[in-house]
């Protein structure tokens, strides 16, 4: 007998094990064809069977070669638990099972490289601050509640610099009110923005599904939802269409795609909804960004104006080394480019310095910053180092509250709209998460991973799939492989997003009604209570038990 080499990898070391029934299997090969990670293969097994065919027991041994489906015992081909094999099997003969005794955390690093993955970090539902906060103030007699079905609600949030009454350049001439100078542009939009996910990180079909849903919500249901393009530019036809008014153009540290955007400016029929300058994101602060060469398809090359290669975004904007410098460059570049008609906002990762950044922006003498976006550690991503996902960043709830209270101390709350994101809708109920953030001081929220789930993503925070970084997305969402992209039904994905947003709108009203607010309850922390003493002390809300 050959000696056992304990360092050899076996199926028992991998995070998922394939449960297979050869009795049910007809060897159609559908599961092998559907597996994008090459985790299973058709193989032959030698089997010995004892049989007796005579009238008297005459046992005999038979040997046969039986075709089977076998899991590969290799980290490079490890099953991710996406379940595509189970979906396509006509006989329910195969499915992935979670292996609680996995050694994959040790084996992944055996090549000397850091572990990368897509998806959120490992903070699960029930451990989030969101889940320990509830709406506890119900208006009843002294200030009656509203009827969520019949009352008219004003669910709009500002995107752009809001001036105080005494700062408005107005004068009275007889009976007329005259505007004597330019005022910063402000767009009033729905308090939920579809977060920045680029063409490249998403497949062209997935990005198109989100864009179609955005346009449909605006045109059909008059719900002014806005979508951020993500870093990497946009299709020329969209830049030249009337639907550009629903898009927020993002400029990140890589500046990908902005040559085409600048070239399209003279041909734009309408202005974009805004400009978002991304300084950092919650999922991988300090890492910058990476689009692997495998995802740089021909459409992505055309939009970004790059060859097929790994596209690296620096961890910070070159030249933006101070808050004052950033504000000045926004004033000189993006606002001037659109002749001061388009609000410009900044997006940063939530961190210990968030309040300092927000305070400096509030003191902006140009009155030009149109929003402050903070992204928490629970934010989803397409590809990041696992150590960054798990150990770098800051929960967005406390930073949102601190920024709001800092503005209140100066009497400047609401001047620069505060938008928060990172884990909004992690449990599937984005309306509740958004409402709580708004009560804590945010003017609105942005969400991205939720949209991917509505498109059909099977990844989750418990380690299922989360292979966005590989370019082998089994749902055809985070891949540029034409064979895989075809799996995504654009119309169905867009319809799912529209249906969810309609439900979210109703749920949002059902949360506003008992509080007695017909407009967004920004900063109404008195409406919230928590069952956690530490959260009550940190967020200055009521503790209940």
pLDDT, one tens digit per residue, over 341-398 is: 999 999 988 988 899 989 988 987 778 889 999 999 888 778 888 888 888 888 899 9
Contacts of 306 (CB under 8 A, 6+ apart): 256, 296
Helix (H) or strand (E) holding 186: strand 186-189
Q: Tens digits of per-residue pLDDT, 161-202?
A: 999 888 888 888 888 888 888 889 999 999 999 999 999 999
Closest of 124, 381, 128 to residue 230, by C-alpha: 381
Say if CB 496 and CB 455 are below 8 A apart: yes
Q: In the chain, how long is the greatest CA-to-CA distance?
A: 119
pLDDT band at 319 (very low <50, low <70, confident <90, very high): low
pLDDT at 59: 86
Q: Facing residues of 97 across strands?
A: 17
What would the mean pLDDT of 475-495 be, rounded to a whole number? 95
Query: What's the average model confidence in pLDDT over 19-47?
Result: 94
Which residues contact residue 267 at a Cβ distance below 8 angstroms, ignoring those fewer than 6 apart? 239, 240
Is the pLDDT higher at 25 or at 383? 25
**Half-sphere exposure of residue 217: CA atoms within 13 angstroms, side-chain side:** 30
What DSSP designation does 372 have? E
pTM metric for this prediction: 0.93
Indicate the burial class of 306 (C-beta count within 10 angstroms; 0-12, 13-18, 19 or more). Answer: middle
Strand partners, 346: 277, 372
pLDDT reading at 327 higher than 70 = no
pLDDT cut 70: percent of the chain above it: 96
pLDDT higher than threshold 70 for residue 47: yes
Give the tens place of pLDDT for each residue, 225-252.
Answer: 999 998 888 999 999 999 999 999 998 8
The contacts found for 501-508 with CB under 8 angstroms, 24 or more apart, are 501/192, 501/213, 501/217, 501/223, 501/225, 502/221, 504/192, 504/430, 504/431, 504/434, 505/155, 505/223, 506/148, 507/429, 507/431, 507/432, 508/155, 508/431, 508/434, 508/435
Residue range 255-266, pLDDT digits in tens: 888 888 989 999
Looking at the predicted structure, is the pLDDT value of residue 138 above 80? yes
Q: What is the pLDDT of residue 320?
A: 63
């Amino acid at each position: 007998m050959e000696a056992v080499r304990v360092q050899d990898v076996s199926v028992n070391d991998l995070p998922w094990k394939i449960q297979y029934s050869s009795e049910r299997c007809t060897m159609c090969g559908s599961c092998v064809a559907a597996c994008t990670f090459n985790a299973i293969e058709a193989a032959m097994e030698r089997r010995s069977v004892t049989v007796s065919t005579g009238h008297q027991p005459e046992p005999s041994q038979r040997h046969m070669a039986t075709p089977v489906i076998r899991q590969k015992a290799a980290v490079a081909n490890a099953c991710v638990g996406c379940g595509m094999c189970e979906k396509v099997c006509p006989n329910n003969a195969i499915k992935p099972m979670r292996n609680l005794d996995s050694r994959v955390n040790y084996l992944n690093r055996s090549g000397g490289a850091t572990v990368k993955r897509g998806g959120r970090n490992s903070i699960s539902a029930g451990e989030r601050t969101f889940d320990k906060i509830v709406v506890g103030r119900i208006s009843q007699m002294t200030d009656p509640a509203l009827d969520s079905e019949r009352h008219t609600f004003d669910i709009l949030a500002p995107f752009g610099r809001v001036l105080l009454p005494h700062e408005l350049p107005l004068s009275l001439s007889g009976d007329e009110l005259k505007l004597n100078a330019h005022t910063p542009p402000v767009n009033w939009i729905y308090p939920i923005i579809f977060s920045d996910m680029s063409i490249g990180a998403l497949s062209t079909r997935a990005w198109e599904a989100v864009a179609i849903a955005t346009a449909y919500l605006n045109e059909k249901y008059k719900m002014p939802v806005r979508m951020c393009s993500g870093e990497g530019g946009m299709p020329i036809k969209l830049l030249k269409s009337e639907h550009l008014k629903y898009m927020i153009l993002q400029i990140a540290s890589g500046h990908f795609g902005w040559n085409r955007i600048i070239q399209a400016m003279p041909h734009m029929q309408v202005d974009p909804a805004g400009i978002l300058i991304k300084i950092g994101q919650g999922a991988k602060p300090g890492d910058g960004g990476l689009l692997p060469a495998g995802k740089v398809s021909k459409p992505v090359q055309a939009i970004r104006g790059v060859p097929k290669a790994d596209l690296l975004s620096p961890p910070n904007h070159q030249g933006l080394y101070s808050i004052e410098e950033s504000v000045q460059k926004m004033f000189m570049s993006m606002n001037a480019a659109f002749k001061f008609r388009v609000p410009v906002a900044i997006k940063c990762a939530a961190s210990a310095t968030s309040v300092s950044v927000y305070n400096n922006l509030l003191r902006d003498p140009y009155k030009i910053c149109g929003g402050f976006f903070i992204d928490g550690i629970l934010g989803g991503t397409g590809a990041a180092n696992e150590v960054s996902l798990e150990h770098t960043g800051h929960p967005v709830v406390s930073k949102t509250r601190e920024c709001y209270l800092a503005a209140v101390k100066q009497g400047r709350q609401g001047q620069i709209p505060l938008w928060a994101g990172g884990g909004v809708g992690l449990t599937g109920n984005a309306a509740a998460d958004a409402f709580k953030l708004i009560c804590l001081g945010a003017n609105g929220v942005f969400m991205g991973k939720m949209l991917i789930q509505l498109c059909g993503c099977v990844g989750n925070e418990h380690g299922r799939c989360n292979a966005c970084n590989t370019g082998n997305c089994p749902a055809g969402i985070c891949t540029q492989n034409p064979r895989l992209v075809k799996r995504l039904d654009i119309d169905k994905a867009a319809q799912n997003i529209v249906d969810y947003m309609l439900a979210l709108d109703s749920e949002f009203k059902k949360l506003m009604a008992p509080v007695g607010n017909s407009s967004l309850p920004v900063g109404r922390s008195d409406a919230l209570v928590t069952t956690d003493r530490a959260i009550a002390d940190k967020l200055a809300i009521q503790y209940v038990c």
